[in-house]
Amino acid sequence: MRRDRVDWERLGVWVIGLVVVAAALLVGFAGTPYTAPPGAIEATAANPAIDVTSFHGGYAITPVDTAPDAALVFYPGARVDPSAYVPVMGPVVAESDVAVLVPRPRLNLAVLEPNMAESVRAATPQIEQWYVGGHSLGGAMACRVAASNPEWVEGVVLFGSYCDRSIADTDLSVLSVGGTRDTVLGTDRSALRPERLPENATIYRIEGLNHTQFGSYAGQPGDSPATISRETAHERLQSALVEFFVARG
C-alpha cells in the first residue's frame, strides 16, 4: 500500500512539474511578441493631425483638432505587439476622425481577454459610436464581442481574420480584408468565412498582401512572401478603412 502511495506522490510531482514547465513556455512564447520596427511609433506620432498615447498597455490614436464621437477598438493578432498597428492606423485616424484604440491583451493573446472592448468602452464614455475589430485571432475575438453586444457595437473590422461566430443575421456594418499571399489565414475568399457575415458586408482581397502586412512587423511563421511593398499594402488597407468609416455618415 505504501508503494502505491509513493507512486501517486511521484506522479503528482511530475504533473505539477509539467504544468509549471508548460506555463513557463507559454509565458516565454507569448511574452516575446512581434513589434513595430524601431522608430515606427515616433514617425507615426510626428503627424500633426494625430496624437499617439499609451492606453490599456497599448496605444490610443486620436485626432488633434476634433473630439471624436466614434472609435475602433482593434485587437492585435496572437503574439503581435500593439505597436505593430500604429503605423497602419495613424493615417486612418488623420483622415477619418475616428479614434483607434489598440489595447494589449493578457500575454499578448486576445483569446485570454476577449472582452477587452467592454472595459475600453467603460473607460471612454465620451465615445458614442463603437466599432470592434482586429487582426487574425484578434478579429475572431472582436467578432465575439459584436455577436454578444449588438446593442452598442456599430460595426466590425476584420484584417486577415474571420468570425468564429455568425453575425450574418445582424445589421452590423462589416469590413473584411484578406490578402492573396496570406497563407496563415488562407488565400481564398472562403477563408474569410463570408457566410458568417451580413449580406451587405464589404469584403476586399488585396492582391499580393500577406498576413504580416496587416501590421508593421516581420517574422510570422507560415506566411508567404508578399508581392507588394509594406508601404503599398498599408496604403490600400488605409484606403479601405477610411472609405468604410466615411460611409458611416
Taking alpha carbons only, the member of 32, 234, 245 closest to residue 135 is 234
pLDDT of residue 25: 39
- What's the confidence (pLDDT) of residue 13? 44
Q: What is the mean pLDDT of residues 45-73?
A: 96
Q: What is the pLDDT of residue 12?
A: 46
Report the alpha-carbon distance of residue 100 to residue 102 in Å, rounded.
Answer: 7
Percent of the chain exceeding pLDDT 70 equals 87
* Residue 81 confidence (pLDDT): 98
Distance of alpha carbon 144 from alpha carbon 133, whole angstroms: 10
Q: Residues of the chain with pLDDT > 90: what percent?
A: 83
Of residues 16 and 195, more confidence is placed in 195
Alpha-carbon torsion (106, 123, 130, 56), positive or negative? negative
Exposed, middle or buried: residue 205 (CB in 10 Å: 0-12, 13-18, 19+)?
A: middle
Residue type, 9: E
At 176, the pLDDT band (50, 70, 90 cuts) reads very high
For residue 139, what pLDDT is reported? 97
pLDDT band at 22 (very low <50, low <70, confident <90, very high): very low
Torsion angle in degrees (nearest 10) through CA of 89, 91, 97, 101: 20
CA distance 172 to 78: 25
When pLDDT is averaged across residues 185-196 and rounded to a whole number, the result is 92
Is 63 within 8 Å of 99 (Cβ atoms)? yes
Confidence of residue 124 (pLDDT cuts 50, 70, 90): very high
Res. 24: pLDDT tops 50: no
Counts of helices then strands in the chain (DSSP H, E) = 6, 8
Question: In this model, does residue 58 exceed pLDDT 60?
Answer: yes
46: amino acid identity, one letter? A
Q: How far apart are CA 31 and CA 53, in angstroms?
A: 22
**Pick from 88, 83, 115, 119: nearest CA to 102:** 83
Q: Are 93 and 136 in contact (CB under 8 A)?
A: no
Please tell me the predicted confidence (pLDDT) of residue 6: 53
Instruction: Provide the sign of the torsion angle of the four alpha carbons 123, 150, 80, 94, taken in this order.
Output: negative
Average pLDDT over residues 188-200: 94
- Which three cell numbers mark 148? 454578444
pLDDT at 17 exceeding the cut of 50: no
Domains and CATH numbers, the chain: 31-246 (3.40.50.1820)
Confidence tier at 3 by pLDDT (50, 70, 90): low
Average pLDDT, the chain: 90
Position 26 scores a pLDDT of 42
Residue 106: per-residue pLDDT: 94
